[in-house]
């Protein structure tokens, strides 16, 4: 329709807005965010592949982008020919590419396939070739998207080692990844993009922690909304919901509201129950989950052999967890209300703020276990 001049019904999406980012020499910055948040658009702008509609971008040259697989390659050219072509597109002279071509081919580890057409390559082989060229053109800025995720473990290690060397040599690295461990380990800073805007930027462990908490709460809200919709539709039916969880909060061991505890410290979960019939009976349960949905701990009154709640329309229950031996991270706390048999769920509620275990430093470990090293004498 736009080709015919009719644009009234077309909608427009602003991919990025109000982005203010400065990255120094020798710094690695991680770009994180959900799909569609603007990460790839930002990297394309920095790489010079796309031009902004407004604003200014200043980037030291040359820039070596490793973005969409096959970007800058020709499917009918061999790997060797594509390496030469890609290097030329990155601004490297023909004479220099001739000198470095053997190093590129060796780094890519393509073997006899280096002289086969690119259309015969797997996605991992194309990623090898793209990174091999970028790693051998001495870029001032290296821009890496998720393309590295398709490589095998050995080649990924090789690429990461080269990126570490880039950083040590005073080069700049922009690294977009869904692997939070790589972001926190390799990047000093991280930028969290959300719907085309910077939601947060700062120390990579701090930004990743908030991003993971957001993902966890988003998923829990979705599950809670689904549960509420199901139970609400059953309110008027026989055997429908007869009670609800009126309150769910996390407390420290002294009974004060708490969102953060130290590694190994305990906590309490308080549940409030409202029911329509004093003669009805109910069980309650609590689950503590990681941001990706793994259950770390769960307890239920019916599973622990306790009698159901009955004899009133208001109940307050507390679950005491004297010690929580995890090292660090954000966790969602959910409360559940079951029938007298512990089988039918009447309600589910998630604590609005994630329970955070705040260690002194970031760690990939879930548990904080006592341990001891024995080294050779």
Phi, psi of 42 (to 5 degrees): -60, -45
pLDDT bucket at 183, cuts 50 / 70 / 90: confident
- What mean pLDDT do residues 177-203 have? 89
Give residues with Cβ within 8 angstroms of 329, minimum separation 6. Answer: 209, 212, 290, 291, 356, 357, 366
Per domain, the residue ranges of the chain are: 11-210, 239-357
Nearest by Cα to 114 from 133, 142, 88 = 133
Does residue 81 have a pLDDT over 80? yes
Residue 322 has pLDDT above 90, yes or no: yes
The answer to whether the beta carbons of residues 364 and 332 sit under 8 Å apart is no
For residue 180, the model assigns a pLDDT of 81
Q: Which residues contact 234 (CB under 8 A, 6 or more apart)?
A: 240, 241
Percent of the chain with pLDDT over 70: 87
Phi/psi at 168 (5° precision): -65, -30
- Kindly report the backbone phi and psi dihedral angles of residue 208, in degrees, each rounded to the nearest multiple of 5, phi listed first: -65, -40
- Cβ neighbors of 190 (< 8 A, separation 6 or more) are 29, 30, 31, 32, 183, 184, 201, 202, 203, 204, 207, 208
Q: What pairing do the DSSP bridges indicate for beta strands 197-203 and 243-251?
A: unpaired
pLDDT of residue 232: 47
Q: With CA atoms as reference, report the closest residue to 353 among 228, 264, 226, 257.
A: 257
Tokens of 270: 């308080």
Phi and psi (nearest 5°) for 204?
-55, -40
- Of the pLDDT bands very low, low, confident and very high (cuts 50, 70, 90), residue 234 is very low
- Separation CA 225–CA 265 (nearest Å): 31
What is residue 246's three-state secondary structure? strand
- Equal CATH topology for 11-210 and 239-357: no
pLDDT bucket at 266, cuts 50 / 70 / 90: very high
pLDDT (tens digit per residue) in 277-286: 888 889 999 9
pLDDT at 155 over 60: yes
- The model's confidence at residue 68, banded by pLDDT at 50, 70 and 90, is low
Q: Which residues contact 41 (CB under 8 A, 6 or more apart)?
A: 15, 16, 50, 196
Average pLDDT for residues 213-219, to the nearest whole number? Answer: 73
Q: What average pLDDT does this structure show over 65-89? A: 81
Mean pLDDT over each residue of the chain, to the nearest integer: 83
What is the secondary structure of 199-242 as a DSSP string? EEEEEHHHHHHHHHHHHHHHHHHHHHHHHHHHHHHTTTSTT---
Whether 172 and 141 have beta carbons less than 8 Å apart is answered as: yes
Model confidence pLDDT, tens digit, residues 113-153 = 889 998 898 878 888 888 888 888 888 898 888 766 556 66
Question: Could you tell me if 96 and 102 are in contact, meaning their C-beta atoms sit under 8 angstroms apart?
Answer: no
DSSP string of 46-90, one letter each residue:
HHTSS--SSS-----S-EEEE-STTTT--TTSBHHHHHHHHHHHT
* Nearest residue to 40 (alpha-carbon basis) of 17, 75, 15, 70: 15
CA proximity to 281, closest of 302, 309, 253, 256: 309
pLDDT at 231 over 60: no
Per-residue pLDDT band at 344 (split at 50, 70, 90): confident
The pLDDT confidence band at residue 88, using thresholds 50, 70 and 90, is confident
Which of 124-133, 156-165, 248-257 has the largest mean confidence?
248-257
Average pLDDT of span 86-97: 83
Top CATH class, 11-210 = alpha beta
Radius of gyration of the CA atoms of the chain, in A: 27
239-357 carries CATH number 2.20.25.650: no
């Amino acid at each position: 329709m736009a080709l015919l001049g009719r644009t009234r019904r077309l909608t427009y999406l602003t991919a990025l807005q109000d982005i203010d980012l400065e990255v120094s020499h020798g710094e690695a910055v991680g770009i994180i965010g959900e799909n569609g948040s603007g990460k790839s658009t930002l990297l394309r702008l920095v790489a010079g592949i796309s031009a902004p509609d407004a604003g200014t971008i200043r980037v030291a040259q040359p820039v070596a982008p490793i973005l969409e697989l096959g970007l800058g390659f020709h499917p009918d050219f061999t790997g060797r020919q594509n390496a030469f072509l890609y290097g030329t597109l990155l601004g490297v002279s023909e004479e220099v590419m001739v000198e470095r071509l053997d190093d590129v081919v060796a780094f890519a580890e393509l073997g006899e396939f280096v002289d086969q057409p690119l259309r015969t390559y797997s996605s991992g082989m194309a990623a090898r070739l793209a990174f091999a060229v970028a790693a051998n053109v001495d870029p001032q800025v290296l821009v890496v998207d998720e393309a590295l995720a398709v490589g095998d473990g050995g080649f990924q290690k090789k690429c990461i080692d080269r990126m570490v060397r880039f950083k040590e040599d005073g080069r700049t690295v922009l690294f977009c990844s869904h692997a939070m461990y790589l972001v926190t380990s390799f990047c000093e800073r991280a930028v969290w993009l959300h719907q085309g805007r910077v939601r947060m930027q700062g120390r990579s462990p701090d930004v990743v922690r908030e991003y993971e908490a957001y993902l966890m709460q988003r998923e829990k809200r979705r599950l809670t909304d689904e549960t509420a919709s199901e139970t609400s539709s059953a309110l008027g039916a026989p055997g429908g919901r007869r009670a609800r969880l009126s309150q769910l909060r996390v407390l420290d061991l002294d009974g004060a509201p708490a969102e953060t505890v130290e590694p190994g410290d305990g906590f309490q979960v308080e549940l409030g129950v409202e029911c329509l019939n004093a003669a009805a009976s109910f069980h309650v349960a609590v689950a503590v989950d990681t941001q990706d949905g793994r259950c770390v701990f769960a307890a239920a009154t019916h599973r622990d052999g306790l009698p159901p709640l009955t004899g009133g329309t208001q109940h307050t229950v507390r679950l005491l967890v004297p010690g929580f031996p995890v090292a660090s991270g954000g966790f969602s706390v959910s409360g559940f209300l079951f029938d007298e048999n512990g089988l039918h769920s009447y309600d589910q509620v998630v604590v609005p703020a994630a329970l955070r275990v705040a260690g002194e430093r970031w760690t990939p470990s879930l548990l904080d276990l006592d341990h001891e090293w024995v080294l050779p004498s």
